[in-house]
């Protein structure tokens, strides 16, 4: 049996299948990954996204964020892999999606049950009063933007280095990892904690781990049961074909 067939069988027969995604699922939408070829960390100093740097150099940090997050990421659209996951949710074959991505593309593709482990660019947080506002309401022409209510410093509601994971997203993600019996990992290196503990938790709960990535990751040897060594869109298209064959057989 080929690996796509094997993966499709595990998904169709799963009691509670979930997905865990990283930057790689959005690469074919035009979102650069963090690491590797064309990675953001080759162009920008990761310290720009450290909370202490942000507090001390708010304007400089905002300039980098506007260029990356709101100009570059702002123009991108979901790809076939995001749509395939939304379709699997609609068919009740995937129950929850946990993502490390902040680009909103799973929501744009129509996924409803999603835990944004590293937050979302679509929301801006006031560090002084805690108010959250949609990004469309924030004027990016004058940086750094300030809270219209209290004048406090605004920051994208995404997790910077040195910050905690949002409590609700963390708790729901780890609960999903305990509950799932099949987890599909797409486009993630497995190098960033605590997010990388989620597939390990699923594996410890006896879930089958299906991994999609053109390159082996930290997960491949440690937790993966079925490795689909391919780009996200091609792999998801092949997987959907196999799922369709199985459900019509
Ligand atoms: P990385 O940028 O570290 O890794 C991207 C992964 O995607 C690699 O394993 C690539 O091989 C794979 N990849 C590249 N192109 C792909 C494609 N077309 N299809 C499928 N996979 C592809 O991204 P993450 O592991 O997700 O944290 O990074 C984790 C965290 O590191 C991010 O969420 C971010 C960063 O620091 C925060 O912002 C807090």
Token pair recorded at residue 35: 């690491």
Identify the residue with better confidence: 140 or 243: 243
DSSP secondary structure letter of residue 21: E
Identify the residue with better confidence: 78 or 47: 78
43: pLDDT strictly greater than 90: no
* Angle CA 230–234–236, to nearest 5: 95
Predicted pLDDT at 171: 98
pTM confidence score? 0.96
242: pLDDT strictly greater than 90: yes
Confidence of residue 5 (pLDDT cuts 50, 70, 90): very high
Determine which residue's CA is closest to atom 35 belonging to ligand 1: 34
Note if 118 is an active site residue.
yes
What is the arithmetic mean of pLDDT over 34-60? 89
The neighbouring-strand residues paired with 209 are: 183
The ligand 1 atom at the shortest distance from the C-alpha of residue 215 is: 11
Determine which residue's CA is closest to atom 18 belonging to ligand 1: 231
Q: Which of 31-40, 153-162, 236-245 has the lowest mean pLDDT?
A: 31-40
Pocket residue to mutate for ligand 1, from 23, 32, 215, 221, most atoms within 8 A of Cβ = 23
The ligand 1 atom at the shortest distance from the C-alpha of residue 49 is: 38
174: pLDDT strictly greater than 90: yes
* Concatenated DSSP letters of 172-236: HHHHHHHH-SEEEEES--S-STTTTHHHHHHHHTT-EEEEE-SS--HHHHHT-SEEE-S-HHHHH
What is the arithmetic mean of pLDDT over 70-99? 95
74: pLDDT strictly greater than 80: no
Q: Which of 29-33, 116-120, 170-174, 197-201 has the lowest mean pLDDT?
A: 29-33
Residue 39: which of 189, 229, 228 has the closest Cα? Answer: 189
Q: How far is the CA of 248 from the centre of ligand 1 (A)?
A: 34
Residue 105 CB-half CA count within 13 A: 29
What is the arithmetic mean of pLDDT over 163-177? 97
Binding pocket residue ranges, ligand 1, CB within 6 Å: 22-24, 27-28, 33-36, 39, 100, 118, 159, 187-189, 192, 212-215, 217, 231-232
Predicted pLDDT at 96: 98
Identify the residue with better confidence: 112 or 249: 112
Confidence of residue 1 (pLDDT cuts 50, 70, 90): low
Q: What percent of the chain has pLDDT over 90?
A: 84
216: pLDDT strictly greater than 90: yes
Rounded CA gap, 135 and 105, in Å? 15
Residue 96: which of 196, 244, 202 has the closest Cα? Answer: 202
The neighbouring-strand residues paired with 114 are: 97
Determine which residue's CA is closest to atom 9 belonging to ligand 1: 189
189: pLDDT strictly greater than 90: yes
């Amino acid at each position: 049996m080929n690996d796509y067939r094997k993966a499709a069988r595990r998904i169709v027969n799963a009691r509670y299948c979930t997905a865990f995604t990283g930057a790689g699922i959005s690469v074919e939408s035009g979102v650069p990954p963090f690491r590797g070829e064309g990675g953001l960390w080759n162009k920008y100093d990761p310290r720009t996204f450290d909370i202490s740097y942000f507090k001390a150099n708010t304007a400089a940090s905002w300039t980098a964020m506007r260029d990356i997050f709101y100009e570059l990421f702002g123009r991108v659209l979901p790809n076939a892999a995001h749509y395939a996951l939304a379709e699997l949710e609609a068919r009740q074959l995937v129950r929850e999606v946990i993502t490390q991505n902040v680009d909103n593309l799973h929501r744009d593709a129509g996924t409803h049950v999603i835990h944004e482990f590293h937050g979302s660019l679509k929301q801006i947080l006031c560090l002084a009063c805690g108010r959250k506002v949609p990004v469309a309401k924030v004027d990016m022409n004058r940086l750094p933007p300030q809270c219209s209510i209290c004048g406090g410093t605004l920051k994208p509601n995404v997790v910077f280095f040195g910050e905690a994971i949002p409590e609700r997203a963390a708790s729901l993600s780890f609960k999903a990892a305990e509950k799932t019996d099949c987890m599909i990992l797409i486009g993630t290196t497995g190098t960033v904690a605590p997010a990388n503990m989620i597939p390990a938790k699923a594996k410890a709960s006896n879930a089958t781990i299906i991994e999609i990535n053109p390159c082996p990751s930290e997960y491949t040897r440690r937790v993966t049961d079925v490795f689909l060594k391919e780009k996200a869109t091609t792999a998801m298209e092949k997987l959907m074909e196999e799922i369709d064959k199985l459900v019509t057989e």
